Structure 1
Amino acid sequence: MILVTGGRGFIGAHAVRALLDLGEQCVLGQRSAGPRPALLRGVPDGHAVMEPLDCADPGSVLAVGRRHRITGVVHLAASGLGASPPLEEVQTNTAGLFAVLRAALEWGVARVVVASTIGVYAGADGPSYREGAPLPVASPHPIPASKKIAEIVADVAASSGQEVVSVRIGAIWGPLGRPSSPFFAAPGLVHAAVRAGARSGAGDAGAVRGGPAPASPTGATPGGSAVDGMPPVYAEDSVDMCYARDCGRAIALLQTTPALRHRTYNVGGGRAVANHEVAAAVGRVVPGGVPALLPGRSPGSPALDAHLDVTRLREDTGFVPEYGLDRAVADYVGWLRAGHPR
């Protein structure tokens, strides 16, 4: 069985779903108790087993291996994420990684996949982020700082003979994700459109399949400049986006592909997507549901639209995204209209 720490979380649930689709069985390790994610409802208990697990407690991690035969690990759990003092957050997450790596070594696990982030590239030059490029030492936030430390620890473990793969994950959006993000506009645009469609009575299944595009060049309706609960959304701001179902499948492939040639892989869409592209796609699914975008770029936005180079991922695992922008928006809208709050 493959242990997925943080398996009840946003990316964790999608990784578990993808692993199950590949014929694997999973243990979902989570510190907090709670129901099975909606994405995994209906899965037989023996295929996706939920277990209490606190990565900061080595005994808690090892106990999972006494109850199940763990053959692989996907380590996605993280503590804090801005809720704890920065030093405490970094300490807790680093200690958790050590506990997972030591347990995996004891269990004889074939491969450990460790989550990193696109944030480790903050301050790097060039429009394309490649795994082999040197990274700035400094980090603007505790999350990328923790992930840089994790990558160093993972690399030391790999140098000692343990197969450990770091996965630099880009901006992920879709079912189970937050309704809005401080880092990119896509989730907020979709949620705002679904709310607007519900108010106008346009929430039928036919609208999910699409309709005429809005008249605005940005794909937005006139009369607004922001999405509820979000900062103003600028049409030309761009980010590398990967739909959650594709992200989960990429992680599953990195866990199950028999042989990998590298220790670090980018997981993203492979190009920068502008907010006006997202708005246009949302408008095709929910006509009239998208607030207007502000023209141009936000103040202080980077001059270059950087994206993750996903050549390694494609060449070593055969991964190709299944969800283009329109299909992703339609899937997400359909998920929300089915009654899921996020």
Structure 2
Amino acid sequence: MILVTGGLGMIGANTAAALADLGEEVIVTGHRSTDLPSFLAGRVTVERLDITDRDAFLALGDRYAIDAIVHLAGSIPEPDPMDFFRRDLAGLVNALDAARTWRVRRFAVASSISVYEGRPERPWTEDLDLPLAELPHAIAAFKKAVEPITQFALAGTGVQPVLLRIGSTWGPLMHPESPFNPVPPLVSAVLRGERPGALAADGGGDFGYARDTGRAIALLITAEVLRHTAYNVGSGFPYTPRELADALTAALPGTGIELSGAPAADAPEHPYLDISRLRAETGFEPAFDVAGAVADYVAWRTENPR
């Protein structure tokens, strides 16, 4: 049985669905809400859990025979990040404590593409040294700290750590006005009957659709053997604003999505993740290109609020 914390969020729910597709028994946790998306209905067990409550977290092991954990739960930082760091660090420590107490086989935790910030190479590979760099936001800072904490906490315990360096993921269940991806707010505007805004012509970079990201994580947590600790999780290719505009126009006929501005002639290539290691060890291949992902998402949003 596999526990997915944050299993009702975008990446967590799609991971849980992929695990269920593989025939795994899955427990998902939610805190403020335990409402299931339609694609999980009847397929997983749901537990309401505040991951900062150590006793409540460990009590799950009294009710279920959990042999692997995917720790994806997280919160949103306030302007002052200290409360965010306290909450999410407490949740991480409790999840690690549970992994050690229950003697699970494998513990996968969400890291981020942002750990590579400051590296000039394209694409980013797992064997790059991680630089001391200014990070874009508190979430990125915390995800970078997650990696050594997890490795040190699990060293010598028999629990295998898996650091999920997750790329720029979007898709079903993403907040419809998310600032982290241009597609959900643009689709929301169209569905409200508004004229969509233009896409920035200097955008682009890593592209991970949530259904693919979830399937990649499911393959990593269930693999018979993993030879490494860190794995890039993404599509393995960068998207361009033109590709995205064309895909949106095709999925939303009559909207005429436009590009604004122009990329600088000397602008560096946007960063993206190399997923050769993920491919080689799990057989993962993305099921969605840009056009397929946009079409799937638009179809989802016509029936669902997020």
Shorter-chain TM-score bucket reads over 0.9
Provide the TM-score with structure 2 as the length reference.
0.92
Q: Equivalent residue of 1:307, what SS?
A: coil
Q: How many residues align?
A: 304
Query: Corresponding residue for 2:129?
Result: 134
Query: Corresponding residue for 2:6?
Result: 6
The AA in structure 2 aligned to 1:315 is A
Q: How many angstroms apart in 1 are the aligned matches of 2:17 and 2:170?
A: 16
Given the alignment of the two structures, is residue 152 of structure 1 paired with residue 118 of structure 2, yes or no?
A: no
Alignment of 1:179-328 (within 5 A): 179-196=176-193, 227=197, 233-297=199-263, 303-328=268-293
Alignment of 1:15-94 (within 5 A): 15-41=15-41, 43=42, 47-79=43-75, 81-83=76-78, 85-94=80-89
Moved more, 310-319 or 24-33: 24-33
Q: Please report how far the alpha carbon of residue 302 of structure 1 lies from its aligned counterpart in structure 2 after TM superposition.
A: 5.7
Query: Corresponding residue for 1:168?
Result: 165
Change beyond 3 A, Cα 1:245–1:93: same
Q: Equivalent residue of 2:259, what SS?
A: coil
Query: Corresponding residue for 1:206?
Result: none
Query: Corresponding residue for 2:304?
Result: 340
The Cα offsets for residues 53-104 of structure 1, whole Å up to 9 and x where unpaired, read as 222111111011111111110000013x223631221232122111111111
Decide whether the 8 Å contact of 1:194 with 1:333 is kept in 2.
no
Q: How many angstroms apart in 2 are the aligned matches of 1:303 and 1:180?
A: 28
Q: How many angstroms apart in 2 are the aligned matches of 1:16 and 1:250?
A: 11
Q: How many angstroms apart in 2 are the aligned matches of 1:256 and 1:125?
A: 33
Q: Equivalent residue of 1:237, what SS?
A: coil
Residue 99 of structure 2: which of 104, 109, 115 is its match?
A: 104
Query: Corresponding residue for 1:209?
Result: none
Provide the TM-score with structure 1 as the length reference.
0.83
Decide whether the 8 Å contact of 2:115 with 2:143 is kept in 1.
yes
Change beyond 3 A, Cα 1:173–1:260: same
Q: How many angstroms apart in 2 are the aligned matches of 1:141 and 1:286?
A: 33
Moved more, 281-290 or 61-70: 281-290
Query: Corresponding residue for 2:120?
Result: 125
Decide whether the 8 Å contact of 2:2 with 2:26 is kept in 1.
yes
Decide whether the 8 Å contact of 1:178 with 1:187 is kept in 2.
yes
The Cα offsets for residues 33-71 of structure 1, whole Å up to 9 and x where unpaired, read as 332223312x2xxx4111122221111110111111111
Query: Corresponding residue for 1:211?
Result: none
> What percent identity do the matched residue pairs reach?
42
Decide whether the 8 Å contact of 2:103 with 2:159 is kept in 1.
no
The AA in structure 1 aligned to 2:99 is A
The AA in structure 2 aligned to 1:19 is L
Higher CA-based Rg: 1
Change beyond 3 A, Cα 1:274–1:189: farther
The AA in structure 1 aligned to 2:148 is I
Gaps of 5+ in 1: 200-223
